[in-house]
Amino acid sequence: MAKGLVYIYAGDGRGKSPAALGRAMQAALEGRSVVIIQFLKGKGVGNSDFLKRMEPEVKLFRFEKSDENYEKLSEEKKQEEIVNIKNGMNFAKKVLATGECDLLILDEVLGLVEKGIVSVEELRGMLECREDTSIIMTGVKLRDDICILADEVSRIETVKFKVWE
């Protein structure tokens, strides 16, 4: 029986990924290991020196090759990236099956379902491999058939936004 919990941070507001990263830092401070896999982020935070300094407690992976946002890619490049994304999902399933970490963050994985790259059934199958690993999934759109897969769902809403100077 799976003991790890599934959390979702969704909504059109800003702060879903930073909230997940905050949970990653909290877990690392508690001596737990974290794997973060980013999807659909373009360059994302993969080059972050700060996150690299957090290894081996926090490991960040990004399987997409393009630094450009997925939406801006040509159809040919999108097809190439779909193969890379599927590799990332297979890696996530392996991480869960082997119990490689205590917390797995799938950043923007809900967008993969929205774009038809990953099905809800594939997502469900991956979550069933989790045993003791807790999972955080982020994304903009939250469907009811995904919502029922989670133990806790947080809707992130931006009330006011001002760019840092």
The residue type found at 123 is: L
pTM, entire model? 0.90
Stretch (H or E) spanning 89: helix 75-98
CB atoms near residue 84 (< 10 Å): 14
Stretch (H or E) spanning 8: strand 6-10
Q: In this structure, what are the phi and psi dihedrals at residue 135, rounded to the nearest 5 degrees?
A: -130, 135
Q: Is residue 90 part of a domain?
A: yes
How high is the pLDDT of residue 51? 73
Q: Is residue 160 part of a domain?
A: no
Q: Give the domain extent around 30.
A: 6-155
Provide the pLDDT confidence category of residue 42 given band limits of 50, 70 and 90: low
- The secondary structure of 25-85, three-state, reads HHHHHCCCCEEEEECCCCCCCCCCHHHHHCCCCEEEEECCCCCCCHHHCCHHHHHHHHHHH
Contact by Cβ (8 Å): 35, 95: yes
Provide the pLDDT confidence category of residue 16 given band limits of 50, 70 and 90: very high
| CATH number reported for the structural domain that contains residue 108 in this entry | 3.40.50.300
Q: What's the average model confidence in pLDDT over 44-53? A: 66
Provide the pLDDT confidence category of residue 1 given band limits of 50, 70 and 90: very low
Stretch (H or E) spanning 135: strand 134-139
Dihedral, CA of residue 141, residue 150, residue 65 and residue 71, to nearest 10 = -10
Residue 35, C-beta contacts closer than 8 angstroms, at least 6 positions apart: 59, 61, 95, 100, 101, 103, 104, 105
Q: Is residue 57 part of a domain?
A: yes
Q: Is residue 163 part of a domain?
A: no
Provide the pLDDT confidence category of residue 98 given band limits of 50, 70 and 90: very high
Q: What's the average model confidence in pLDDT over 29-44? A: 87
Q: Is residue 162 part of a domain?
A: no
If one counts the domains in the chain, the total is 1
- pLDDT 10s digits, 102-160: 999 999 999 999 999 999 999 999 999 898 999 999 999 999 999 999 999 999 988 88
- pLDDT 10s digits, 60-88: 998 888 888 888 888 999 899 999 999 99
In terms of Cα–Cα distance, which of 139, 95, 133 is closest to 117? 139
